[in-house]
Structure 1
Amino acid sequence: MLYYARTTGGFYDDEVHQSIPADAVKITQDQRAALLIGEAAGRKISSDTKGFPVLVNREPPSDEILIAQARQWRDTEIDSLNWLRERHRDELDAGRTTTLTAAQFGELIDYIQQLRDWPASGGFPKTDARPAAPAWIAEQTR
């Protein structure tokens, strides 16, 4: 027999678990499967007033979490461009022909600055307000 316990938020099988919480309610294998499918699809398993498991929508992340995630993305994006900026500068210092054109390097520097300035913009931390990378950056290889 399968059970769900509100206090632990867990499923129990009396053939596997020797101890089952006192608040556990019986559920079917099909109910458990449907709950797990819903959880995998982004919903949250909670319980109703009688302790039976139900699927609910997850609460959206807090502003603090969204800001932290946006800053992490921004920092990772800047870090991922350092090699490209450094390669161009090294090529100039060595007197070699540069891989990037002067215009591309200017676009790169502008993009990095836009990333740095993004947190002060009105659209931060929305993902659709992220600065757009110049298309040619994706074509560069290390």
Structure 2
Amino acid sequence: MSTIYYSAASGGFYRSDIHEHIPHDAVAISADEHAALLDAQTAGKRIQPNAAGHPVAQAPAPPTAEQQAAQHRHRRDRLLEASDIRLLSDYPQTQAELNAWLQYREALRRVPEQPTFPNEVTWPTPPK
């Protein structure tokens, strides 16, 4: 019968019937615990060791302000790229439509200047 181990140092699982070398810090867990941990990981949780080195499923930490800002800037940049075609001189549109797109793009560029950025962002609506 195979025994399943978890190593806090490597963050990995090991099976005695597969792995010749089991880390020294590894703790034995049941097949049911292993399955529950993998199910939790599939649902978005992270497997981390507790103080005793046993694996537990925890919700991931919320993103930092820097990570949120990077995510918002990435989205803004994609929206700007998607609207680049509207600035081509031969794009079939009226001057009013072009002006609307220019205003939209300027609003996108100003997203990081919003007072609640990066915690809360109000995205401009693209013109019709």
TM-score interval for Structure 1 and Structure 2 normalised by the shorter chain: 0.7 to 0.9
What number of residue pairs does the alignment pair up? 126
Any stretches of 5+ residues in structure 2 without a counterpart? none
Q: Which amino acid in structure 2 is aligned with residue 90 of structure 1?
A: D
* SS of equivalent to 2:14: strand
Instruction: Map 1:1-142 onto structure 2 (within 5 A).
Output: 1-86=3-88, 89-91=89-91, 99-126=92-119, 128-134=121-127, 136=128
CA RMSD, 1 decimal: 1.7
* SS of equivalent to 2:70: helix
Q: Which amino acid in structure 2 is aligned with residue 131 of structure 1?
A: P
CA contact (8 A) 1:70 1:127 kept: no
Greater mean alpha carbon deviation, residues 100-109 or residues 38-47? 100-109
| 1:49 shift after superposition | 2.2
Normalised by the size of structure 2, how large is the TM-score? 0.87
Separation (CA, whole Å) in 2 of partners of 1:102 and 1:126: 35
| 1:107 shift after superposition | 1.7
| 1:122 shift after superposition | 1.2
Higher share of residues assigned helix: 1
Separation (CA, whole Å) in 1 of partners of 2:18 and 2:32: 18
Separation (CA, whole Å) in 1 of partners of 2:14 and 2:69: 38
Separation (CA, whole Å) in 2 of partners of 1:126 and 1:114: 18
Q: Which amino acid in structure 1 is aligned with residue 98 of structure 2?
A: F
Normalised by the size of structure 1, how large is the TM-score? 0.79
Identical pairs, percent? 34
* SS of equivalent to 1:129: coil
Separation (CA, whole Å) in 1 of partners of 2:31 and 2:99: 60
